[in-house]
Amino acid sequence: MKRLWIKDLKSNQDQQVTLYGWIHNIKKFKDFSFVYLRDRSGVIQMIVEEAFIPASLKLEASVRVNGRVKVNEKAPGGLEVMVSRLEIVGEAKYDLLPFSINGREMNASLDKQLDYRTISLRRIEKRAVFKVQQEIVQAYRNFLTSEGFTEIHTPKIIGIETEGGSDVFMLDYFGTRTFMAQSPQFYKQMMVGAGFERVFEIGAAYRAEPHSTWRHLNEYVSLDLEMGFIDSEEDIMNLEERLIKDMIVHLEKSCAEELALLKVKLPQVVSIPRIPLSEVQQILLEVYDKKSPVGNIDAEGEKLFAAYVKEKYQSDFVFLTKYPASKRPLYTMPDDQHDGMTKSFDLIFKGLEITTGGQRIHDYDQLVDNIIKFGGKPESFDFYLESFKYGMPPHGGLAIGLERITMMFLGLDNIRHATLLPRDINRVKP
């Protein structure tokens, strides 16, 4: 008999069915037991006579079940299964679990949950996070494909740092010093110039930052895009605003059950404010007596300004624009209207930066001069610069941290809850 998912039992009342799943809970009585079966779609109450219960049956054993679906208004979900056969197909070796799978709350620290990640993910609400994350990726891909973008896949072992700084992982590649990619930045620009015009990538990025905070990872998934023939960075912000709106609509349709389970209400986006960094710093100083670091705002400043934007603009999102050249990578386009500034931006979502983007330098000579100004050697960037000798169009792009946007959409308090198998300064297992 073909396997049936638990979520489909309603349409199979009084029918014989075959189910597979894990033993979620057992409540024993004199002659029978309530055994609760869990598969990826839900949990069902089963009535199992003592004769049909294997002696070695334990919580979290994986089983095959045959039985008849019955209506029972007192049962969870209004249905139960009268079991005629229960077979263990994957034995549980231990009587005690690392923590409760069937309790109302997860009675374990985050570290312990991550130590036993494949066990903690058996809880429905933990997996719901990754269903939402899957649909964020799907919405991103669908939107950009509809906008004429091509999905690309670029190397993660590279010969030169793309973002500069010291936060790079080095490795020995057959005797040559190479790096784990901080981003696909150079390659996505090169593909714009190669004729694709509009490209995007969903891939891993690596930052050797020695942080151990609620919002930092050393390996994360970056949603990157690059777009040619733009007029300014405003085109990139316009695109991202439409992307965010489309993503929210998609999640509301595709993840209604998960959002309800997680008690999440997604923000509504009408228009995202765009405010120059210098103005943001001035507001923080005047309204909150908060001084900002040179050329940026810190984490506390992001939260304070997010509260200001929410009150004034009724928006959970805000674009911070016009960052100084000294705080942006060497490929960032200088702003010809504001001396020392760049045509770049960050997108802040409820007080956390989730996107960095902007217009890039597309003129070969200007890019060479900027590489030198940043202390680099043009010959080290020869593979990258080659594309700029042959009519590179004005272009720009952005990168969104997948785990960060997942965390903020769902109101999670630590990015590791939105990371399947986190890699940070303290964790390389499992």
- Residue range 351-356: mean pLDDT, rounded: 97
Q: Would residue 115 count as lying in a domain?
A: no
Domain of 54, CATH number, reads 2.40.50.140
Cα–Cα distance for residue pair 181/335, rounded to 1 Å = 27
Same domain, 54 and 145: no
Positive or negative torsion for Cα 8, 10, 16, 21: positive
Residue 387 within a domain: yes
On whether the CB atoms of residues 327 and 296 are closer than 8 A, the answer is yes
Asked if the structure places residue 107 within a domain, the reply is no
Question: 268 and 375 share a domain?
Answer: yes
Q: What is the pLDDT of residue 166?
A: 66
* Contact predicate 35/81, CB 8 Å: no
Q: Which amino acid is at 93?
A: K
Of the listed ranges 18-22, 77-81, 164-168, 326-330, the least confidently predicted one is 164-168
Out of 81, 96, 111, a domain closes at 96
Longest dimension (CA), the chain: 85
Considering the domain architecture, whether residues 86 and 137 belong to the same structural domain is answered as no
Q: Mean per-residue pLDDT for 51-79?
A: 95
Predicted local distance difference test score (pLDDT) of residue 350: 97
**Residue 101 near residue 122 (C-beta atoms within 8 A):** yes
3-state secondary structure of 182: coil
Q: Which long-range contacts (CB under 8 A, 24 or more apart) does 254-257 make?
A: 254/135, 254/138, 255/131, 255/132, 255/135, 257/128
Domain check: are 242 and 359 in the same one?
yes
| Token pair for 265 | 């209400």
Residues 204 and 291 in one domain: yes
On whether both 31 and 154 belong to a single domain, the answer is no
Is residue 148 domain-shared with residue 277, that is, in the same domain?
yes
Domains contained in the chain, number: 2
pLDDT at 288: 96
* Average pLDDT estimate for 326-332: 95
- Whether residue 266 lies inside any domain: the answer is yes
Whether residue 13 is found in the same domain as residue 132: no
**pLDDT tens, residue by residue, 73-99:** 999 999 999 999 999 999 999 889 999
Across the chain, what does the average pLDDT equal? 96
Same domain for 329 and 392, yes or no, is yes
Mean pLDDT of 167-185: 95
Buried b (16+ CB within 10 A) or exposed e, 160-192: bbbbbeeebeeeeeeeeebbbbbbbbbbbbbbb
In a domain, 117, yes or no: no
Q: List the domain range (segments joined by +) for residue 82.
A: 6-96
Name the pLDDT band for 107 (thresholds 50, 70, 90): confident
Q: Both tokens of residue 260?
A: 């309800």
Does 397 reside within a domain? yes
| 48, 68 Cβ separation under 8 angstroms | no
Residue where a domain terminates, one of 51, 79, 96: 96
Q: According to the model, what pLDDT value does residue 394 have? A: 98
Q: What is the CATH number of the domain that holds 307?
A: 3.30.930.10
Q: Is 195 left (phi over 0), alpha (psi -120 to 50) or beta?
A: left
Q: What percent of the chain has pLDDT over 70?
A: 99
Q: What is the pLDDT, as a whole number, of residue 1?
A: 79
- 29 pLDDT more than 90: yes
Whether 106 shows a pLDDT value over 90: the answer reads: no
The pLDDT tens digits of the residues spanning 385-412 come to 999 999 999 999 999 999 999 999 999 9
> What local confidence, expressed as pLDDT, does residue 165 receive?
65
Q: pLDDT class for 334, splitting at 50, 70, 90? A: very high
Does a structural domain hold residue 112? no
Q: How confident is the model over 270-284, as pLDDT tens digits? A: 999 999 999 999 999
> Is the per-residue pLDDT at 161 higher than 90?
no
Residue 231 forms part of a structural domain:
yes
Q: Do 11 and 136 lie in a common domain?
A: no
pLDDT for position 160: 86
Q: Is there a cis peptide before residue 324, judged by omega within 30 degrees of 0?
A: no
Is pLDDT above 80 for 164? no
Q: Are residues 71 and 218 in the same domain?
A: no
Where does a domain end: 53, 78, 96? 96
Summarize the confidence of residues 12-26 as an average pLDDT: 96
Residues 62 and 134 in one domain: no
